[in-house]
Structures are given as structure tokens and as C-alpha cells.
Structure 1
Amino acid sequence: MSDLEPVTAPRDWQFASLASGKPAVAGRPDLDFSLTHTRGLVACAATKEGAIGIDAETDQRAIEVDQLMRDVCSPGERRDLSTREGSDKTSRFLDFWTLKEAFLKAGGLGITADLTTVSFNLVGDRDIALSAPPDLARPNSSFQICRCPGQWRVALAVFGEVDARDIEMSLSANRSF
């Protein structure tokens, strides 16, 4: 946050919750941020333009894709997953999951929406299309996924004039304290 507002010292930031429960910078409707964490990774995204959401998952997460996809994935996403096997199937499911989480966080919705009505089509990590019902659709939505292979994936959702594909994200497995 202090990168966006260098005149504000880190210790001076004040936070509050919106009615939806989404954390916000107190008294600063012009700033939006999102937080996420997974094993070995913490990430934050912030913007002065529009809304932002971020979500991360570890590549080592063991999940039952066939059980979860019925409640999480749209029919198109389930078709995509049906063409995949093993770790490729798990990886694509986690792509969908992190994109949906980032999308819901950017909208301040939490997991209150029917996730099967939100559908992503991925041609690549930066060529991502969204289909959502009118009550969930947001103008000027853009998305990207950043990966540290064998470690994590981070999905970013941006609503507004900034394009998520223009935001530089980098992940490193190097640990420094």
C-alpha cells in the first residue's frame, strides 16, 4: 500500500471491513486491495483505479477434482476438465478455482455466488475470458495467472481501466527474511 501512497508510513494505515466483509482502507474509497495466502506464499494486490482481487494456491494441494468440480465449475469448465487427467486436471481445476476466488474478491462478494454460473475460458495465462450472469458481471474485467512451477499459481482479477495483463507479477521460491 505504501508504494501507492509513499507519504503514508506503513504503521499509519487504518483498515476496516465493508458491509460485505471485504477488508478496505479506512476512509479511502479510492484505494482497493486484496490479500491471499497459501502454503509458503503471501500476496497482496492494490490499486487506485477500480477494484482488484487476488488468490493463490499451492501446486502441492491434494484435491478430489471430480467431487469438487460439480459444485465449483460451469458446464464449459467441466468439459475442459473431462479432457484432462492426473496432475494436468488438478492444475486446470486450480486455475479455475483461483480465478473464481480472485473474481469474487474483486467484487467484494466472498463465496456467496453460485460458482457454477461463473465460467472462465483459458487460452493461456493472459488470454482469459469470463462469462457470468448479469448480476455478477463487471465492466472492464481482466484477468491473469502467474506461476512459479511446482510451487504456486496466483490469479489476479481487475475491474476498471487497468488491464490485469499489464500488471507485472513475479513469484519466487527463494526465501529471505
Structure 2
Amino acid sequence: MTNTTFLPLWLAGSDSAAHYQPQALDEGDRQRLNKHPALAQRADWQVSRFLKQQAAAPVLSLSHSRGAALLAAGSGLGAVGVDIEYLKPRDFAALAQWCCSPQERQWLAQGGWQAEPYYRLWCLKEALIKAAGLAFPADLPQVGLRWRADGSVYLYAAEQEWQGVSARCGDWVLAAVWQSATPFTPQWHCAGEFPQPDGLVFFPATAEGFNRFSDRHSG
């Protein structure tokens, strides 16, 4: 029987900034704040540090965007990376030229360069960069989605396959990736009014699962 481990993932939006406690910062964050005192007034800083205080566990990876933050925390879980991004219109075809592989660009083009597929792919890429300890942005084209001969898709970075999950939370998309012999199940902790994750897609994915992922687009 296969064992399953929970991966705690913490989410919060700008409404949680009011619960940030500067007196509870860890030593590393206090030193960073001493060097960059303006951070204390930023919603991203307040929300992400609120999540660190809520998790009360070793931080594995942290990301923030447009006043929202995503944090993975826990012990003994191996390499983990997360990323969260706010959906907004951009020139996705131009951006993909420097951050995507030819196969990924073809897939995005077939979908009409929609915002949600692009940001889902970007989040997976940035999470993989963090988890694998690679260079940002230089290594972005070398990580992300890869296709097998049967059309199924997998996550690839540092010459290895990875596991992961992609999701949408209201106007944000997010990804978490991990390298572990044991399957992980995300354990979501959403603070305040931040929307619950939906549209979850897990990797390794079947071709059917990837079809559902690739058909997603922003409204």
C-alpha cells in the first residue's frame, strides 16, 4: 500500500495584512527589515509574514503577488517550490519567446495565447526553478512541461521528473511542485476571505487530465 504525505500550503490575501505582527518576525526577517525598512509598509510583506507566523513550521517556499501570498511549510518533505501570480493581460506571445520551450510555445499558441494557461505554466516553471535550485530567469526555458510520445505530459527540471499541482484561486493562479518518492496530497489553509483553490490539476498527469488543464482559459 502506497503511503501519502500531506503538503501544508497556506494562502492569504490583502485582508490578512491587518493581522501581521512585526514583533513576531524571525531573526532573518528582522535583519532584512533593518536593511529595507520600506518593506514593512508593503501588503505583500505583511501578508507573507503573517502566513509564516500562522504556519509555525520551517518554510519550504514562499511566493506573493498583488497582495496575496502562498507558503509551503513543513519538515522532512524534501525539495518543494511554490509560486502564485495575479491574472492580468500581457503580450504572452512575446514573453513566451524567452521563457518557454518550442513545444510550450506551440501549446500556448494553439490555445490562442490565453492568460490562464500562460500563468499556470509560468507558476509551474518558477516553482520548479525554486525547488531545483536553478537560475532565474536563465533556466526558465529548460524547465516546465514535457510531452511523451503518447501525448501525456509531465513536469521536468534538472534532468528529473517532478510531481506537482496547479490551481486557480479567484483572480490568481498558483503551483506547488515537489521531488519525493512518496505521493503528496496538498493540505490547503486559506486565511481570511481568500478564495479556495479550484480547477486543480495534478502532475504526473494522464493525457485526459492534461486535456482538462490545457482547455482552461481566463474569462
Q: TM-score category by the smaller chain?
A: 0.5 to 0.7
Cross-structure match for 2:155: 130
Cross-structure match for 1:56: 84
Of residues 131, 135, 138 in structure 2, which corresponds to 1:106?
A: 131
Tell me if the contact between 2:129 and 2:143 (Cα under 8 Å) persists in the aligned partners: no
User: In the TM superposition, what whole-angstrom CA distance separates every residue of 1:83-107 from its partner, at most 9, and x where no partner exists?
Assistant: 1126xx2211111110010001112
- How many residues were matched structurally? 140
Cross-structure match for 2:176: 156
Tell me if the contact between 1:53 and 1:156 (Cα under 8 Å) persists in the aligned partners: yes
Q: Secondary structure at the match of 1:94?
A: helix
Q: Secondary structure at the match of 1:120?
A: strand
| TM-score (norm: length of structure 1) | 0.66
2:126 is matched by which residue type in structure 1?
A: E
Aligned-residue offset at 1:167: 1.4
1:157 is matched by which residue type in structure 2?
A: V
Q: Distance in 2 between matches of 1:75 and 1:173?
A: 40
Of residues 64, 68, 71 in structure 1, which corresponds to 2:98?
A: 71
Tell me if the contact between 1:50 and 1:162 (Cα under 8 Å) persists in the aligned partners: no
2:179 is matched by which residue type in structure 1?
A: F
Q: Distance in 1 between matches of 2:175 and 2:182?
A: 15
Structure 2 residues without counterparts, runs of 5 or longer: 1-7, 9-22, 30-57, 195-219
Which one scores higher on RCO, CA 8 angstroms, separation ≥ 6?
A: 2
Task: Summarize the Cα distance change of 1:173–1:78 in structure 2 as closer, same or farther, 3 Å threshold.
Answer: farther
Q: Distance in 1 between matches of 2:144 and 2:167?
A: 19
Q: Secondary structure at the match of 1:153?
A: strand
Tell me if the contact between 1:147 and 1:171 (Cα under 8 Å) persists in the aligned partners: no
Task: Summarize the Cα distance change of 1:111–1:46 in structure 2 as closer, same or farther, 3 Å threshold.
Answer: same
Identical amino acids, percent of aligned pairs: 27
Which protein shows a greater Rg?
2
Q: Post-superposition, which runs of at least 4 consecutive aligned residues in structure 1 deviate over 4 A?
A: 10-16, 170-173
Q: Secondary structure at the match of 1:169?
A: strand
Structure 1 residues without counterparts, runs of 5 or longer: 4-9, 17-30
Task: Summarize the Cα distance change of 1:172–1:78 in structure 2 as closer, same or farther, 3 Å threshold.
Answer: farther
Q: Pairwise CA RMSD of aligned residues?
A: 3.0
Q: Distance in 1 between matches of 2:98 and 2:188?
A: 30
1:91 is matched by which residue type in structure 2?
A: E
User: In the TM superposition, what whole-angstrom CA distance separates every residue of 1:97-150 from its partner, at most 9, and x where no partner exists?
Assistant: 10010001112224054322223159xxxx961234xxx1346x211012113x
Aligned-residue offset at 1:52: 0.9
| TM-score (norm: length of structure 2) | 0.54
Cross-structure match for 2:60: 33
Higher helix fraction: Structure 1 or Structure 2? 2
Tell me if the contact between 2:124 and 2:144 (Cα under 8 Å) persists in the aligned partners: no
1:106 is matched by which residue type in structure 2?
A: A
Cross-structure match for 1:143: 164
